[in-house]
């Protein structure tokens, strides 16, 4: 099974700053990677799929990049509502797996 390792564990930034979240896969998953945001007390929400395609209704402040084993989610200018835990999910190989999450805190 593909193991996804996310870093950092926690990111604490001020509004307006740029956030860079990483996801590393234990094997090549081409571009079969998605990102989700989970706000406190809510279900996850799909942000990005296919490494870089934004899901319906997702602001262009969120962007994804990468291929193979290394992937990045960038939030260009942080807003207070961006707080939460961000998960990557790979679907290049079954079983589909998730990373352990990066918590984004707003200072």
Q: Which residues bind other proteins (CB under 8 A)?
A: 32, 34, 36, 43-46, 49-50, 53, 55-56, 87, 89, 91, 94-101
> Rounded to the nearest whole angstrom, what is the least distance from the CB of residue 96 to other proteins in the complex?
5
CA distances from 98 to 2, 65, 86 (A): 9, 17, 10
Between 23 and 78, name the residue whose CB sits nearer to other proteins: 23
| Least distance in angstroms from the C-beta of 99 to other proteins | 8
């Amino acid at each position: 099974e593909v193991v996804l390792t996310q870093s950092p564990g926690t990111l604490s930034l001020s509004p307006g700053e740029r956030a860079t979240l990483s996801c590393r896969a234990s094997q090549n998953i081409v571009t079969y990677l998605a990102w989700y945001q989970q706000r406190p007390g809510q279900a996850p929400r799909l942000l990005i799929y296919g490494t870089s395609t934004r899901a319906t209704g997702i602001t262009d402040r969120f962007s994804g990049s990468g291929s193979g084993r290394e992937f990045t989610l960038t939030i260009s200018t942080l807003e207070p509502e961006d707080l939460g835990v961000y998960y990557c999910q790979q679907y290049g190989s079954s079983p589909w797996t998730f990373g352990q999450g990066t918590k984004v805190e707003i200072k």
